[in-house]
Amino acid sequence: MTAAIAAVGCAPNLDIISGASGNMPPNQKMSSLFNSVDTSGAGSITQAQFNQAFQTLNPPTVFKAQGANAIWSLLDPNGTGSVSKQDFVNTMKDLMVQLRADPTGAASPVAPGQTLDSSLHSLNILA
């Protein structure tokens, strides 16, 4: 791969997250996106890094509609606080396909993010 990675927030990264980067395969798009978010080069990202990128990179409308917290909960379903590159690539690729197929989330009984909110609500009622 011979693509230069620009600083977070520059136009080339907008192409990566929007999927408008020409013929680049989804795995490569998400891998490049991960590399731009993993500013420390640790091989994993934290929620703070993800949130920063979510605000700075201006994600597509379907991602904005879900919100950073909902997407993070899909990336880190076990609440470990960090996400590996492989998990990020796989989850974001799948999410991109799902949201492009049905941007409203109506195809699934529960849109991303609602599961976490519903679970938290249920736990609060039981407490």
Query: What are the structural domain ranges in the chain?
Result: 11-126
> What's the whole-number average pLDDT of the chain?
73
pLDDT of residue 96: 82
Taking Cα atoms as reference points, which of 98, 125, 93 lies closest to residue 17?
A: 93
Task: List, as one string, the DSSP characters of 72-117.
Answer: HHHH-TT--SEEEHHHHHHHHHHHHHHHHH-TT-TTSSS-TTHHHH
Please state which CATH class domain 11-126 belongs to.
mainly alpha
The CA distance from 127 to 115, in Å, is 18
Task: Please determine, for residue 80, whether its predicted confidence score (pLDDT) is greater than 90.
Answer: yes
Instruction: Tell me the average pLDDT across 66-84.
Output: 94
The CA distance from 47 to 109, in Å, is 26
pLDDT of residue 22: 53
Taking only the tens place, the pLDDT of each residue in 24-63 is 788 898 999 999 999 899 999 999 999 999 999 888 888 8
What is the model's pTM?
0.63
